[in-house]
Chains A and B, each alone.
Chain A
């Protein structure tokens, strides 16, 4: 199975800061990497798919990038409404897909 290693597990940053979350795949997944935002008590929301394509309606301060088997989600200017947990999901071939462990983002 493909393992996804996500870091950090949590972070605290100030409003306006640039924030970066990383996921590393245990093998080549091409660009089959998605990023989700989840707020407490809510379903996950798709932010980025195919490693770097912003889903419809997602603010442009979010961006995704691939470098080999390393993937990053960047929030260019952290806003209060971005407080949430963030997860990567690899969806290479049909099974089994795997999530990263999650990153909890808070405001300092």
Chain B
């Protein structure tokens, strides 16, 4: 059974760093792109970008480029989303999703809630 399991909720202060994870089960993790999606409280879904775990080729949406970093470790079937300096506006739930055969994100993680507050 295909599953994406994300790391737990985080509470951080502005300026701190953070790395959250998304681990894949039940399929060949290295061969499917993993996307990241932000949902701010009470708001809609925003596409952040996508990474190919096989070679760590990453593509970022313009709104997120330079502020976040995607990475992947194919030896542990895990993708990561990282911030070097969090802002209060990063408070949101973050989802990872697998790109399906028809370019459709088909399986999703359960989400990781990130709260950034002083």
Q: Which residues of A come within 8 Å of B, CB atoms? A: 1, 32, 34, 36, 38, 43-46, 49-50, 53, 55, 85, 87, 89, 91-92, 94-102
Contacts and interface: CB of A to CB of B under 8 A. Distances in A.
Interface of B: 33, 35, 37, 44-47, 49-50, 59-62, 95, 97, 99-100, 102-106, 108-111
Given A49-B100, A50-B102, A99-B44, A44 B49 contact: no
Contacts of A46: 100, 104-106
Given A43-B109, A96-B59, A99-B47, 6 more contacts: A34-B105, A44-B95, A46-B104, A55-B106, A97-B35, A99-B45
A13 B111 CA distance: 30
Contacts of B105: 34, 46, 89, 91
Most buried by A among B33, B50, B103: B103
B contacts with A: majority SS: strand
A53 B80 CA distance: 31
Contacts of B100: 46, 49
Given A94-B50, A95-B49, A96-B62, A43 B108 contact: yes
A44 B108 contact: yes
A29 to B, nearest CB: 10
Nearest to A94: B59
Nearest to A32: B103
A102 B103 CA distance: 20
A23 B38 CA distance: 20
Nearest to A1: B62
A15 to B, nearest CB: 26
B101 to A, nearest CB: 9
